[in-house]
């Protein structure tokens, strides 16, 4: 028997590094959550999002499920938002929505704002269901996120 050849074990998990697209999505979630905590808007939602980010970093299967459900719910809510906010009784021209970020001020029509929100949600869903992102998670681990 030749002892110079490396031995491989059949049940060793392969090291899969975190995909860059998942890193970008997690950075987006962290920035949004921290800004929500600073602004004291949606504090519970921001804390739950940060816990989801921790589960994703831990390669937990529960993190993958939470990510996919989170992004699908977000897409559903953002897609229904124009219908919910539509008020036929109040069709007075109220003008476009105005935004102020620092010294930058602009006005955008509502349909552009909704289109941007829906596009962001679609990109998040695409990232959550991407094959590279799914292969990052350890599928043999049970749903116990405390492990």
* Cβ neighbours around 56 below 10 Å, total: 23
Instruction: Assess whether pLDDT exceeds 70 at residue 143.
Output: no
- Per residue in 74-132, pLDDT tens? 999 999 888 877 766 665 555 566 666 667 777 777 778 888 889 999 999 999 999 88
Reported as a pLDDT band with limits 50, 70 and 90, residue 38 is very high
E strand spans, 28-111: 97-101, 104-108
CB 97 within 8 A of CB 113: yes
Task: Write down the residue that tokens 């552009």 correspond to.
Answer: 112
Least confident of 4-8, 36-40, 68-72, 135-139: 4-8
pLDDT score, position 24: 92
The pLDDT value recorded for residue 94 is 56
pLDDT at 46 over 70: yes
Q: How confident is the model at residue 29 (pLDDT cuts 50, 70, 90)?
A: very high
Q: CA 67, CA 29: separation in Å to the nearest integer? A: 11
Closest C-alpha to 51, from 145, 138, 129, 141: 145
Q: Are the beta carbons of 75 and 125 closer than 8 angstroms?
A: yes
Q: Is the pTM of this model over 0.75?
A: no
> Measured between alpha carbons, how far is 31 from 102 in angstroms, rounded to an integer?
17
Comparison of pLDDT for 110 and 65, the residue scoring more: 65
- Is a pLDDT exceeding 90 seen at residue 144? no
């Amino acid at each position: 028997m030749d002892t110079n050849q490396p031995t491989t074990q059949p049940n060793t998990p392969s090291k899969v590094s975190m995909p860059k697209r998942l890193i970008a999505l997690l950075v987006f979630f962290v920035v949004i959550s921290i800004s929500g905590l600073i602004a004291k808007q949606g504090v519970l939602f921001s804390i739950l999002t940060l816990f989801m980010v921790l589960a994703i970093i831990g390669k937990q299967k529960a993190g993958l499920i939470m990510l996919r459900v989170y992004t699908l719910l977000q897409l559903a809510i953002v897609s229904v938002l124009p219908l919910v906010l539509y008020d036929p009784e109040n069709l007075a021209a109220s003008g476009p929505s105005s935004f102020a970020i620092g010294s930058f001020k602009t006005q955008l029509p509502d349909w552009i704002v909704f289109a941007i929100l829906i596009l962001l949600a679609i990109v998040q869903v695409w990232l959550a269901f991407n094959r590279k992102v799914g292969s990052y998670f350890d599928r043999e681990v049970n749903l116990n996120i405390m492990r």
